[in-house]
Structure 1
């Protein structure tokens, strides 16, 4: 089941993100601050949780400033032992549905060009995203930023 993220999900979701090994302490602090802001401020952000008796995945999406209907999928993660079970695809489908209701027209996602992110790039392609751009040496020397986009249909 995909549902809105609740404050009671926070610790489990942060653990999923930390266990990924892809976030340093600053990155984890940034994710926690964004989640806390979502709970405290009622921001425009969308946080959804994949729940299979407990949180097993999360997606976080924000509107892009100074655009008309463009949103950025900033975080998508499933628990390692639940990868490949459809939770990621379900989270993407649900975020797209929520965005269409809000009148969004374009969804972007950014990822690394490093070999260890090949699975993520393949996943986004299977979800209908197309690689739009590459910024060389963005994250660090030799670590390019790849930008994928998907046009949405308002529903």
Structure 2
């Protein structure tokens, strides 16, 4: 099925048959990560900068040397979504999902589902058994919270007023099988 979206090279067609996953970032793709993260419209400047910093760390150290692993979803040569995850040091088998982002305008097309499923699969292959996700309690994050709950994540903890007054940090956990 083809759908139109605005990509890096202008208006493009999203073709489900043309989606692919990739596990390595290459030099300069930190700008794609920044662009995709900005396109969502809910992340603040600091969050966008952090996403790009994690991508730079991965590019500079290589996937084997970085604590931040990426899975990219591409439509042809356009990166349209990504996850960033990593092993939680000091634990036996816990991982953190730092980011799952799908380009603005492409939500509800199955891209996030594809990315999270592959991320969970890779973590299992690496010996991970628990995946933790942190998110905000703000209304603009409602769909994200529902996304996790629909995929079997359980609310593990709430840190009141963590990000700001009235903006709690919610931690979800999923036991991977």
Q: CA RMSD in A?
A: 1.4
Q: Deviations over 1:97-137 (max 9, x none)?
A: 11011100100001111122110011001111111111110
Rounded Cα–Cα distance in structure 2 between residues aligned with 1:116 and 1:13 = 20
TM-score normalised over the length of structure 2: 0.81
Question: In the alignment, what sits opposite 2:32?
Answer: 12
Alignment of 1:113-152 (within 5 A): 113-152=137-176
Q: CA deviation at 1:96?
A: 0.6
For structure 2, the 5+ residue unaligned runs are 1-19
Structure 1 segment 92-107 matched on structure 2, within 5 A: 92-107=116-131
Instruction: Give the secondary structure class of the aligned counterpart of 1:131.
Output: strand
Query: Which moves more between the two structures, 70-79 or 29-38?
Result: 29-38
Aligned length: 153
Shift of 1:59: 0.4
Q: Which has the higher helix share?
A: 1
Unaligned runs of 5+ in 1: none
Contact 2:155 2:171 in 1 (8 A): yes
Matches within 5 A, 1:1-155: 1-7=20-26, 9-41=29-61, 42-53=65-76, 54-153=78-177
Structure with larger Rg: 2
**Runs of 4+ in structure 1 displaced over 4 angstroms?**
none
SS of equivalent residue, structure 1 residue 2: strand
